[in-house]
Amino acid sequence: MAELSRETIRDTAIDCILSVAPEAEIDRLRHDRPWREQLEVDSFDFLNVLVALETRLGVSVPEGDYHELTTLDGLVAYLEARLAETPP
């Protein structure tokens, strides 16, 4: 996989969230605040977002890392770090 820019990762993450919560008002989302509360994404939908991220980016998030995904900024930073460590 070619190296992805931070913006590409952010767009992909937003796509994945929208695939699970299509009516989410993504434009009003504050990226530095907890996104699940803002978008009303419950634990089941959160799991579906993780499945979508795994499909799109190949990153499987262990449960112990969930706390790093609280904000969208955190989620993007986490994915970026994981993608960088994964050999192409």
Residues that bind other proteins (CB under 8 A): 19-23, 36-37, 40-44, 47-48, 50-52, 54, 60-64
Distance CA 32, CA 16 (A): 18
Asked if 39 and 1 touch (Cβ cutoff 8 Å), the reply is no
Distance CA 53, CA 50 (A): 5
Nearer to other proteins, 5 or 55 (CB): 55
Q: Name the nearest CA neighbour of 28 among 37, 19, 20, 64.
A: 37
Nearer to other proteins, 9 or 41 (CB): 41
In the bound complex, what is the minimum distance in angstroms from residue 60's beta carbon to other proteins?
6
In the bound complex, what is the minimum distance in angstroms from residue 73's beta carbon to other proteins?
19
Nearer to other proteins, 3 or 22 (CB): 22
In the bound complex, what is the minimum distance in angstroms from residue 20's beta carbon to other proteins?
7
CA angle 34, 38, 39 (to 5 degrees): 115
